Amino acid sequence: MPLTDLTLAECLALRPDLDEPADLDTFWDRTLAQARAAGGSARFTPVDTGLTQVTTYDVTVPGFAGEPVRGWLHLPAGTDGPLGCVVEFLGYGRGRGLAHEQVLWANAGYAHFIMDTRGQGWSTAGGDTPDTADVGGTVPGFLTRGAEDPHEHYYRRVFTDAVLFTEAARAHPAVDPARTVVTGISQGGGITLAVAALVPGLAGAMPDVPFLCDIRRGALIAGAPPYTEIAEYLRLHRDRAGTVFSTLSYFDAALLASRATAPALFSIAMMDEVCPPSTSFAAYHRYGGDKDLRVYEFNGHEGGGGHHRREQLAWLRERIGPRRPAVPADSTDPVDPLTPVDPTGPLTPADPAGSTALSALHDPQLA
């Protein structure tokens, strides 16, 4: 797949001028206050998955308007809390799937919460959380649901669900709330950035090839859905572009990212036609906390895959995992493959797949 967007050098220099609503903070303060006022308690029901090293619970959390949001909680079997915690949000079209499917983070020793995304679950995994809002007059998908009123937009409900789900995770007795990290791929990456902006005190955020960043540019240049839903809607409603992009600005993760303070590990793929790299870089450059970046120069929307999971495991271990004992200098033990590379070292390709490790803490052009 060829490059279809800006070059890496151009993306590193990119500082887009985005239109931010004057009442963005007030909008979210009021939205979340209303959601919390609905009350209700999270429920955790044990599930027999047949796995012996992971204990799983079926999770239900009151979300937007008190509506139930489903999910999973995976815990390392036989461990006592509080544990470091990973809260995961899912990609576009994916539901929470089956209870035994996603257990990487629990196997690494963390509490792992997975949030079902309301109304989704038709692509790679089924879902169990309906979206109750009216969808009349919209393009198939989610970007144009409520496209002409931010109070009615689909992602107002999803971002609210995600904030409340994260708060429920941090309140669980098995979880150390100060060692909680949020993560997600694509749509999940955009939700991750929103939650990092709206939930104080997180230990980290790991957005991968994030969606919902610089949404207007995405609608103009993306070669594949979901951003193309906006163009399709405006192809018919030619006179509504101003209203639609004004609405979507309340859910633009590149705008919200400036409010985040937790350290972050981003990944961006330079041949991504779904979430063009320039849109993800808009969020990266505006991100308010310390940040690291892994660029996958020869990958599309699949991003870094297993190579990037390895990067995340090392990054998490340094921040919320148990500390490893020091290895004596004369030890003959093999080197731990998860030992992170010194970030002050030279910027070199990290693996044959074309990943480049970049650190905003040590490279002035990324600051």
User: Given 112, 172, 285, 301, which residue is catalytic?
Assistant: 301
3-state secondary structure of 144: coil
23 assigned to active site:
no
Is the CB of residue 119 less than 8 Å from the CB of residue 154? yes
Q: Which amino acid is residue 49, in one-letter code?
A: T
CA dist 313 and 329 (Å) reads 24
Q: What is the DSSP letter of 362?
A: T
258 assigned to active site:
no
For residue 269, which of 253, 293, 241 has the smallest C-alpha distance? 293
3-state secondary structure of 268: strand
CA dist 254 and 276 (Å) reads 13
292 assigned to active site:
no
Q: What is the DSSP letter of 214?
A: S
For residue 227, which of 250, 194, 258, 252 has the smallest C-alpha distance? 252
User: Given 186, 278, 280, 355, which residue is catalytic?
Assistant: 186
Query: What distance, in Å, lies between the first and last C-alpha atoms of the chain?
Result: 29
For residue 73, which of 63, 86, 84 has the smallest C-alpha distance? 86
For residue 276, which of 341, 323, 228, 234 has the smallest C-alpha distance? 228
CA dist 2 and 153 (Å) reads 34
User: Given 5, 272, 292, 308, which residue is catalytic?
Assistant: 272
Q: Is 233 annotated as a binding residue?
A: no
For residue 222, which of 153, 147, 301 has the smallest C-alpha distance? 301
CA dist 140 and 184 (Å) reads 23
Active site residues: 186, 272, 301
Residue ranges of the binding site for substrate: 92
Residue ranges of the binding site: 92
